[in-house]
Amino acid sequence: MLSHLVLKFKAGCVKNHIDNWRSVTTDPVILDAIKHNHIEFESGCRPAQTTKPRQITFSSGEKEIITAEITKLLSKGVTELTNPLNGDFLSAIFVRPKKDASYRVILNVKPLN
């Protein structure tokens, strides 16, 4: 039975199964994390960014790849468009090829660390 569940697993769909999570736990912290997938910082420890991320110059091919990958993420509901606000923490992105010849867009959160 478990192997059948593993085969059905699809990354990024955890929040779509909130009712199943509710049958396992009533912990509001866990349910909130599953539903909203956000990062919480300790009170008074909001990260501060003193400099802008380094501007990366992409080739036209990389720009097309990034646009296509971001479009996929938007259509899947993984991310959403927002307007930048004062105090936001900005991170650079870059692309790397995968073994199957597709590409992965990587969000560089190292400065957040």
Taking alpha carbons only, the member of 78, 72, 70 closest to residue 11 is: 78
Which range (34-43, 71-80, 99-108) has the least confidence? 34-43
pLDDT given for residue 35 in this prediction? 77
User: What is the identity of the amino acid at 51?
Assistant: T
β partners of residue 96: 104
pLDDT band at 1 (very low <50, low <70, confident <90, very high): very low
Taking alpha carbons only, the member of 49, 75, 65 closest to residue 104 is: 65
CA distances from 79 to 9, 85, 101, 109 (A): 20, 17, 24, 16
Whether 60 shows a pLDDT value over 70: the answer reads yes
